Structures are given as C-alpha cells and as structure tokens.
C-alpha cells in the first residue's frame, strides 16, 4: 500500500508540475504579446524589466544596449524602485554590474548562470563579485537573427540557486521576443529621430525660403521701380517727332517699344554742321545694365559730336568704343553693343559700324546692305580702329532706308517661329510708295499680328527715313 501511495503521490506531483508549467507558459505568452505590441523604446524597456523580474525570480535587473562598440546601461530595476530607462550610463562607470561578465557574454553570446556567485564559476575573483557578494547571477545575451541586440543582467541576493532550469527556460522564451522588440523599437526611434531631423531641416528651410521670398518681393519692387525709371529715361532721350520733322531733305519716323524687361536698344537722329547723323544699336542682354549702357551711348554720341567739326567714322566709333569698354569693365557687366552709324548730307549716305543689315528701297526694289565688315562690336576690345570702315550710298528722291533691331526679325509667335527678314522685306515692298510714317506703322502692325498673344522678349525698335 505504501508503494501504491508513493506512485500516486509522484503522479499527482508530476501532474501538478505540468499544471504549473502550463500556467508559466501562458504567462510567458501573454508577456510576449505585451512586449510585441510596444514600439516606443522607453515604454518597452519599462514593461520589459517588470516582466523579466517577475518571471525570472530576480531582485535586480539591468539591460545593456550597444552603441559604437561600447555598452551602456539603458534600463535598471533595483530594490523594487521604479525602472530607470534610457539614461545611457556607460558600463565602465557603473557600480551595479560586473563589467567582466558583460564582456564575456558579449564575446561568447552564451549565458552565464552563477548559482552561488562567490563560491563557484570563473568569476569568483571578479572585483564586483568580491565587493557586492551577490548570491545568484544570470547574464543572458539577447539575439535576433544572429545579431546581438542587448544583454540582460539579473541578480537575486536572497538565495542561491534562484535561477532554476524552469526559470531559465521561461527566460529563454522571453529573450527571443525581447531581442525582436528591442530591434523594432530602436528602428522606430531611429525613424522618429530622422523624421524630427527632417522636420527641423524643412522648418529651417521654410524659414529661409520665407525670408528669401520677402527679400525677393522687396528686391522685385525695387527693381520694378528702377526698370520703370530706366524705360522712361530711354523714351525721354529718343528724338521727338517734332525734332525729326524739322530736318530738311528727309522724312523720318522712329519707333521703340521696350519689352517687359528693359532692353538695350538705341536709336537717335541728330543734326550737326549740315549733316544728319543717325544711329541704330543694340546692347547684348536685357535688364537695367543694358538699358543704362544704351543711355550711356546716347549721351556719349552727343558729347562727341559737340567736339567734332567733321565726323570721321573711324575716330568717332573708336572713341565711343573706348568709353564704353572702360565703363563696362567698371560695371563688371560683360556687355557689348552693335552699332551702325549713318552720316547723311545732300543725298549721300555714309554708313559705318556693325549691326543688322540696312534695308534700302529704290523704286520698290529692296536691297540689303551687310554691315558685318563695316565695324566691330562696341565694348569688347579697347581699340577697334582697324576694324572700322565705311561705305557710301546715294539716295534719290523717293528712296528710303529702314533701320531695325533684332527685336523685329527675331520676334516669336505662339508656335515659336521667328518673324524674319523676309517677312519684313515683304511688308516694305507692299508699302514702299507710302510715307515713312505709314511704312513704320505697317511694319509694327504686321509684327504685332504675327506675335499675337505671345510674350515680347526683346525691344522692338525701328527707324524709317525717306529722301524728299
């Protein structure tokens, strides 16, 4: 009967043990679910330490995480106090753990279990063990996919052998989830940090853009005012219809319409010692610098005429070039000017300087005079005297001449097509018997119809004069 009772007691004991194991595993599964649902690192570490201490039978616990090949204590549970997390205390500065045990586990990725730490195992002479006299010690690596994610260090100072095989089995199951949860939380924290950094960068960039926009608005207002002044100055300096009507022997009509930005178109008509001097030019580029240079040329031409008894095209254009060249250097503008100079007296036209082709019309026949070999762009070289030559044109009654800038021939329509010299000549041929004013208006009207609603990108400048 005693044997039967013994067998019955053993069976009941084994059955009761199985019940406890099932309860432990249920508890572990619930703990794993709790950990897997937490993604914020600080909250995860807090929950983790409470769960580990409860399931492992420890009094003290620390979690260490690696940073740049060094180990830092990121969570600790001591004497039932609140869990301290994310303090990043360097391992070597802590008095709460054996650095030798931590380094051993980090190197071997194996558990260290000391049932009586001061009496058994390889760490009995460890300075921390000798000083603190812990009873039971457990140090376990947390590994996810072969990667060491962290190290868990546990102590029980009330009894030896606290970390039993059953508790080690529970901890083994938990450690896998711990490693995964830590890895996910670290990734989430890194993502959050990157989002915060990017948000801060975007905020800074937005502030800079806002400041730049405000500055640009101020600059645009200022530039708009400056450009408006420049346009008005250009138009104010153009020869008036009244001036041109007073010139004997010629019927003259001029037109200039600046584009949205101030361009560098220039034309002028001057009487001097029985000669009529006409100029047509175009400064490279657009904007205030181009407009200023055009005004500068107009003023310089008038100043040079005041000191010249007879207009020598070589001396005249070379002197003008020298002034423009040095001023362009001073302005640091990298601008230049194509310029044709026409000197008219009693039916004879002396033409010099490089610009667009000059259009001469005799009895309805259009002739194009190439000016390329008559000069050199103004402002590119300090001396252009050797490049300047002149050619003579005889005009009869009814003959007329058309000067223009590329704002006409290079005007674009909505299909990006150029107006072109052929179309300009065709309009002139159709209207050659009319007055210079009518010819000018016919050309401008045709150009506007061609452009349509397309934006005007360059100044449109035209000068027409007819021999009376």
With contact defined as beta carbons under 8 Å apart, do 295 and 282 qualify?
no
Look at residues 84, 91, 93 and name the one whose alpha carbon lies nearest to residue 105. Answer: 91
The token duo for 168 is 């080690």
- Structure tokens, 264: 């560098």
Task: Say if residue 128's pLDDT is above 60.
Answer: yes
Please check whether residue 282 is in contact with residue 265, taking contact to mean a CB–CB distance below 8 angstroms.
Answer: yes
CA nearest 440: which of 257, 235, 237, 234?
257
Residue 162 token pair? 């606290």
Nearest to 245 by CA among 236, 237, 256, 254: 254
Say if CB 49 and CB 63 are below 8 A apart.
yes
Cα–Cα dist 72/84, whole Å: 13
Whole-number Å distance between alpha carbons of 90 and 361:
95
Are residues 138 and 15 in contact, defined by beta-carbon separation less than 8 angstroms?
no
- Residue 116: is its pLDDT beyond 80? yes
Provide the Cα torsion 359, 362, 367, 373; round to 10°: -70
Nearest to 284 by CA among 339, 240, 237: 339
Backbone angles phi, psi at 284, to 5 degrees: -65, 145
**Residue pair 40/28 in contact by the 8 Å Cβ criterion:** no
CB 156 within 8 A of CB 58: yes
Question: In this predicted model, what pLDDT tens digit does every residue of 296-315 receive, in sequence order?
Answer: 888 888 888 777 655 788 99
The pLDDT tens digits of the residues spanning 380-426 come to: 999 999 999 999 999 999 999 999 999 999 999 999 999 999 999 99
Position with higher pLDDT, 162 vs 24:
162
Distance CA 316, CA 43 (A): 87
Region 123-149: mean pLDDT is: 92
What tens digit of pLDDT does each residue of 334-373 get? 888 899 999 999 999 999 999 999 999 998 899 999 999 9
d(CA 216, CA 8): 94
Question: Residue 160: CB partners within 8 Å, gap ≥ 6?
Answer: 115, 116, 135, 136
Residue 311 main-chain phi, psi, to 5 deg:
-80, 110
The structure tokens listed for 220 are 């645009």
Query: Residue 127: which pLDDT band, with cuts at 50, 70 and 90?
Result: very high
DSSP letters for 298-359:
HHHHHHHHHT-SS--HHHHHHHHHHHHHHHHHHHT----EEEEEEEEETTEEEEES--SPEE
Residue pLDDT, tens place only, 52-61: 888 888 999 9
DSSP state of 374: G
Span 59-88, pLDDT tens digits? 999 999 999 889 999 889 886 666 888 888
Give the model's pLDDT for residue 89. Answer: 92
Strand pairing report for 147-156 and 136-144? antiparallel
**CA–CA separation, 235 and 262 (whole Å):** 11
Residue 381, CA distances (Å) to 113, 211, 319 in order: 91, 42, 12
Q: Residue 398 and residue 467: Cα distance in Å, rounded?
A: 5
Torsion, Cα of 41, 47, 52, 54 (10° steps) = 170
pLDDT tens figures, 205-227: 888 888 888 887 877 777 667 66
Query: Measured in whole angstroms, how far is the alpha carbon of residue 430 from the centre of its chain?
Result: 53
Residue 21 has pLDDT above 60, yes or no: no
Cβ atoms of 36 and 53 closer than 8 Å: no
Q: Which residues of 371-410 are buried (b: 16+ CB within 10 A; e: fewer)?
A: beebbbbbbbeeebeebbebeebebeeebbbbbbbbbbbe
Distance from C-alpha of 388 to C-alpha of 446, rounded to nearest angstrom:
34
Mean pLDDT score of the chain: 85
Pair 284, 337: CB distance under 8 Å: yes
DSSP code for 93: G
pLDDT at residue 4, rounded to an integer: 41
Judged by average pLDDT, the poorest of 98-102, 122-126, 170-174, 258-262 is 258-262
Beta-bridge partner residues of 394: 348
């Amino acid at each position: 009967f005693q044997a039967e009772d013994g067998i019955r007691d053993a069976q009941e004991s084994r059955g009761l043990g199985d019940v406890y194991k099932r309860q432990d595993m249920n508890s572990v599964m619930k703990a794993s679910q709790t950990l897997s649902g937490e993604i914020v690192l600080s909250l995860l570490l807090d929950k983790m330490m409470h769960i580990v201490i409860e399931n492992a039978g420890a009094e003290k616990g620390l979690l260490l995480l690696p940073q740049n090949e060094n180990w830092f204590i990121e969570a600790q549970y001591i004497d039932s106090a609140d869990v301290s997390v994310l303090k990043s205390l360097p391992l070597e500065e802590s008095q709460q753990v054996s650095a030798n045990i931590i380094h051993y586990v980090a190197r071997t990725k194996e558990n260290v279990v000391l049932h009586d730490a001061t009496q058994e195992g390889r760490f009995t002479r460890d300075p921390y063990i000798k000083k603190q006299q812990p009873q039971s010690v457990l140090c376990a690596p947390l590994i996810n996919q072969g990667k060491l994610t962290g190290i868990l260090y546990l102590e029980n100072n009330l009894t030896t052998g606290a970390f039993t095989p059953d508790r080690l089995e529970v901890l083994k199951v938990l450690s896998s989830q711990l490693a995964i949860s830590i890895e996910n939380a670290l990734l989430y924290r890194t993502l959050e940090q990157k989002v915060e950094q990017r948000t801060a960068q975007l905020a800074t960039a937005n502030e800079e853009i806002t400041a730049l926009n405000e500055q640009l608005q101020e600059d645009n207002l200022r530039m708009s005012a400056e450009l408006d002044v420049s346009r008005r100055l250009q138009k104010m300096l153009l020869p008036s219809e009244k001036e041109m009507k007073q010139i004997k022997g010629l019927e003259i009509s001029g037109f200039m319409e600046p584009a949205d930005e101030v361009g560098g178109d220039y034309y002028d008509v001057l009487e001097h010692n029985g000669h009529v001097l006409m100029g047509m030019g175009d400064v490279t580029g657009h904007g205030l610098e181009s407009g200023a240079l055009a005004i500068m040329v107009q003023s310089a031409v008038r100043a040079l005429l005041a000191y010249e008894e007879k207009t020598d095209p070589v001396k005249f254009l070379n002197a003008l070039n020298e002034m423009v060249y040095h001023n362009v250097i001073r302005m640091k503008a990298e601008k230049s000017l194509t310029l044709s100079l026409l000197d008219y007296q009693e039916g004879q036209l002396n033409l010099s300087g490089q610009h667009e082709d000059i259009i001469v019309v005799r009895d309805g026949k259009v002739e194009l005079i190439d000016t390329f070999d008559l000069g050199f762009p103004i402002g590119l070289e300090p001396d252009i005297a050797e490049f300047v030559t002149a050619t003579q044109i005889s005009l009869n009654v009814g003959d007329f001449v058309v000067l223009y800038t590329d704002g006409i021939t290079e005007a674009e329509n909505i299909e990006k097509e150029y107006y072109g010299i052929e179309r300009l000549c065709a309009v002139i041929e159709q209207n050659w018997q009319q007055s210079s004013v009518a010819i000018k208006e016919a050309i401008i009207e045709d150009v506007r119809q061609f452009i349509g609603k397309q934006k005007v990108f360059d100044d449109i400048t035209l000068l027409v004069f007819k021999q009376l």
